[in-house]
């Protein structure tokens, strides 16, 4: 038996039991101690975590402020970008409007260019037409200058086909016994003679010395320049025989004599200017007063054959005049210029 310090005697079994209890208590105490140490350790670790958390909140605040600043900067940048976008939109609208204006201006310019091109082509076509017209007119003028207008307009025949008559443009001039020639034909022939002399005088640039011719077709007339009353004498007759004509001083006879004087002026001008191409140097029949080759143009009803011979001689002289005129291009050109003026 073992006694305790307290003086209580214990048996072995009780002592073992007490020791086991004490060891158990010691183990529990050690377990509690470890738990306390662990709790203290955990507590200390929690305080450190709290300190760390406190530091992280400050950093977070700073970071949050930085983020706010960054957000503000980003918002400013966004506002600037929006302003830039609006400016770009306005610039795009202006550019689009400028583009539309440019497209319209280009279209209008193309219209102007097309119009100018059409006008230029029209001008070239007009110039070509005018040049062709000028070439045609020049060729036609050259052709006309080669044509003797007097011979084309006045055709005189005195050959065997006409017999004892002379004709001008197929009109017989004269009367013969047994051959009826109406006065309408004779008057028309005299009108052609008057027109021929008047035209030839203009073409040659000469003036009649004492008379003025008035070609009026079948009713042509002639006047004396020094006559103060300017009396017109007929170059057309009729089937009647006035009393004055029986004495050879009728108005018709005086008119025919004046017509001969006009023919003499034109023939004298031509006789003074011989041409190489003319059939003879001068007119075949001389003219003196009322005589042509010795035959009078004054009508005597008993000597109509002589009257017809006088006019045939006159027509032969005029035919020579036409051939003389055709032999010189100067006269033909002068007549062409006269007709074109």
Residues 170, 306: one domain? yes
Residues 296, 226: one domain? yes
Distances (CA, A) of 192 to 35, 163, 224: 167, 20, 20
The answer to the question of residue 241 being in a domain is yes
The answer to the question of residue 34 being in a domain is no
Task: For the beta carbon of residue 253, count every other beta carbon within 10 angstroms.
Answer: 21
- Domain of 90 in residue numbering reads as 77-142
For 42-88, how does the pLDDT look when each residue is reduced to its tens digit (9 = 90+)? 777 765 555 555 556 777 778 888 888 888 888 888 888 888 888 88
The answer to the question of residue 27 being in a domain is no
167 and 189 Cβ atoms separated by less than 8 Å: yes
- Output the pLDDT for position 46: 66
Residues 169, 306: one domain? yes
Cross-strand pairs, 253: none
Tokens linked to 23: 């060891």
158 and 312 Cβ atoms separated by less than 8 Å: yes
Counted domains in the chain: 2
The answer to the question of residue 95 being in a domain is yes
Cross-strand pairs, 233: 222
Q: Which residues have CB under 8 Å from 91's CB, separation 6+? A: none
Q: In this structure, are strands 291-292 and 287-288 parallel, antiparallel, or unpaired?
A: antiparallel
323 and 282 Cβ atoms separated by less than 8 Å: no
The answer to the question of residue 70 being in a domain is no
- Output the pLDDT for position 313: 93
How far is it, in rounded angstroms, from Cα 13 to Cα 18? 8
For 290-309, how does the pLDDT look when each residue is reduced to its tens digit (9 = 90+)? 999 999 988 776 677 888 99
The answer to the question of residue 327 being in a domain is yes
Instruction: Give the residue from 119, 142, 165 where a domain finishes.
Output: 142
The answer to the question of residue 44 being in a domain is no
Enter the pTM of the model.
0.57
């Amino acid at each position: 038996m073992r006694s305790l310090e307290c003086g209580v005697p214990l048996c072995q079994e009780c002592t073992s039991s007490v020791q086991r209890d004490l060891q158990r208590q010691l183990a529990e105490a050690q377990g509690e101690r470890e738990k306390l140490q662990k709790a203290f350790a955990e507590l200390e670790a929690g305080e450190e975590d709290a300190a760390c958390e406190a530091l992280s909140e400050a950093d977070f605040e700073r970071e949050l402020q930085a983020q706010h600043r960054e957000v503000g900067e980003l918002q400013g940048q966004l506002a600037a970008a929006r302003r830039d976008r609006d400016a770009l939109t306005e610039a795009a609208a202006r550019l689009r409007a400028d583009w539309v204006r440019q497209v319209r201006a280009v279209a209008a310019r193309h219209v102007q260019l097309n119009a100018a091109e059409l006008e230029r082509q029209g001008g070239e076509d007009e110039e070509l037409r005018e040049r062709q017209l000028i070439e045609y007119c020049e060729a036609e003028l050259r052709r006309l200058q080669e044509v003797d207008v007097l011979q084309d307009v006045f055709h005189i025949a005195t050959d065997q086909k006409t017999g004892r008559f002379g004709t001008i443009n197929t009109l017989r001039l004269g009367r013969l016994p047994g051959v009826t020639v109406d006065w309408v034909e004779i008057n028309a022939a005299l009108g052609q003679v008057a027109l021929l002399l008047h035209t030839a005088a203009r073409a040659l640039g000469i003036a009649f010395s004492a008379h003025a011719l008035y070609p009026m077709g079948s009713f042509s007339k002639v006047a004396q320049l020094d006559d103060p009353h300017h009396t017109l004498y007929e170059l057309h007759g009729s089937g009647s025989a006035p009393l004055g004509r029986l004495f050879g001083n009728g108005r018709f006879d005086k008119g025919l004599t004046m017509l001969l004087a006009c023919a003499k002026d034109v023939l004298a001008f031509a006789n003074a200017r011989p041409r190489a191409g003319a059939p003879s140097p001068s007119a075949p029949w001389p003219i003196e007063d009322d005589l042509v080759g010795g035959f009078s143009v004054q009508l005597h009803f008993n000597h109509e054959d002589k009257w017809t011979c006088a006019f045939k001689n006159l027509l032969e002289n005029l035919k020579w005049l036409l051939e003389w005129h055709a032999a010189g291009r100067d006269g033909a050109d002068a007549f062409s210029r006269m007709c074109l003026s």
